Amino acid sequence: MKLSTKTALLLTLVCSLSFASEQFAMSDADRAMYAEMLENNPAEMDIEVGGELFEEYCNGEAGLAKFLGVSESKLPEYIAGFPRYVEKLKMVAGLDQVMQAIMKENGHEPLKLKSGDMFGMLAYAKSLANDVPINIDVNANKHMKEAYALGKEVFETKRGGRGLACLSCHNSAVEGGILRTQPLPNLGKNNAGGTWPAYRMTKSSLRTLQRRFQGCMNNALLAVIPIGSPEMNALEVYVTDMSKGSAIAIPGLKR
C-alpha cells in the first residue's frame, strides 16, 4: 500500500521522536546549569529593567490599572485573564499591546512587540500576577469566543510544505517524546500559559510565548505569523485556556 505524501511525512515525524532516550537526555552539565538557573533565573535582570521602563512609560501599576478600568488591588487577578478583549482597543489583545497603547497615550513612541525591552516589560507586568491562577474566560463575550475558535483553527490546521500543525507535535500520541533534542510537552500540564515570558537556555535570552510560537513555526517550515496579529493573539488565547487554573510563575525557565 502506497502512503500519501502527508501521511509519510507524519510517520517520519513520529518515528524521529525518541521517548526517554538516553541519547537525547540533558547532560549532567546542563542539568546542573538548569538547577542553578531555577534559583537564579537570568531573566530576573530583564524583569528589573522592564519594571523601570514600565514605570517610565506606563506610570507603573497605577497607570495600567487606570487604562484597564480596574482598581490596583484587582490588577493581578485582571492580568491573569489575558489575553482578553479590551474595549479601548476594540480587540482581543495581549498585555504588551495594552502597554503600547498606554505609551502612545503618554506621548512615548511605543516599543516594538518583538523588542527585548518589550519582552522585559511584559515579563514584569505579568509577574505582578505571580501565584494567581490563570482565569482567562473564553466565553466572556463574542470576541473571546471568536478568538478561541480562531486559535483552535490555527493550532489544528496543517500547513506548509511538511503539512504540519501545532497539534502534530502536541497531541496525546507524541507528547513526552523528544524532537531535535527538545521535549514535546502537554501544553496545559506544562502550564505554557503561565510560565511565559521565560528564559530560554538554548537562546540565552528572555522570550515570550508568541515568540516561541514563531520559533516552532520557523522550525516546521511554516509561514511565520506576526506577533500581535489577530491569529497569533487567538493562538495564545487557545493555549492559555489549556492552562486555566494553573498559577502564573514569571519568569519561567525553558531549555
Q: Residue 88, SS3? A: coil
* All three cell numbers of 27: 547532560
Please give the average per-residue pLDDT across 181-199, as a whole number: 90
Contact 206, 123 (CB under 8 A): yes
pLDDT at 13: 44
Kindly report the average pLDDT of the chain as a whole number.
Answer: 88
Please give the average per-residue pLDDT across 206-235, as a whole number: 96
Is 60 exceeded by the pLDDT of residue 189? Answer: yes
Full DSSP string of 32-49 = HHHHHHHHS-THHHHHHH
* All three cell numbers of 232: 497569533
pLDDT in tens, 81-140: 999 999 999 999 999 999 999 999 999 999 999 999 999 999 999 999 999 999 999 999
> Domains plus CATH for the chain?
5-39+136-254 (1.10.760.10), 43-127 (1.10.760)
What confidence tier does 202 reach under pLDDT thresholds 50, 70, 90?
A: confident
Interior/surface letters 14-25, b for 16+ CB within 10 angstroms, e for the rest: eeebeeeeeebe
pTM (two decimals): 0.85
